[in-house]
Amino acid sequence: MKRPHASHPRRGDDRLEASHRDDRTPMLTVHDVARMLCCSARTVYRLTDSGRVPRPVKLGSLVRWPRETIEDWIAQGCPRAQTMEVV
């Protein structure tokens, strides 16, 4: 027997809510970035800490990446974020 609540996203769970969000949301969660890079959220944090991914923006206790920054970074071939050309 299925549990009825298992099919509904839990409040505050970005991984589940991300699939219900508009694909053009201007700010990305770590799970959104991980999905774009085909890696885990932990890998995104490691890459960010090592300067290989653009730094996120902190909004209070939230950590978000501007969609345009990540899309531009990917379009440039994912250069080290510290050497990424700012346009």
Domains of the chain, residue spans: 22-78
pLDDT per residue as tens digits for the range 43-62: 999 999 999 999 999 999 99
Tell whether domain 22-78 is in CATH 2.40.10.10.
no
Nearest CA to 69 out of 79, 61, 59 is that of 79
**Most confident by average pLDDT, 10-14, 17-21, 58-62:** 58-62
State how far the alpha carbon of 77 is from the alpha carbons of 11, 38, 54, 81, in Å: 35, 15, 13, 11
Q: How far is CA 2 from the centre of its chain?
A: 31
Tokens of 55: 């730094």
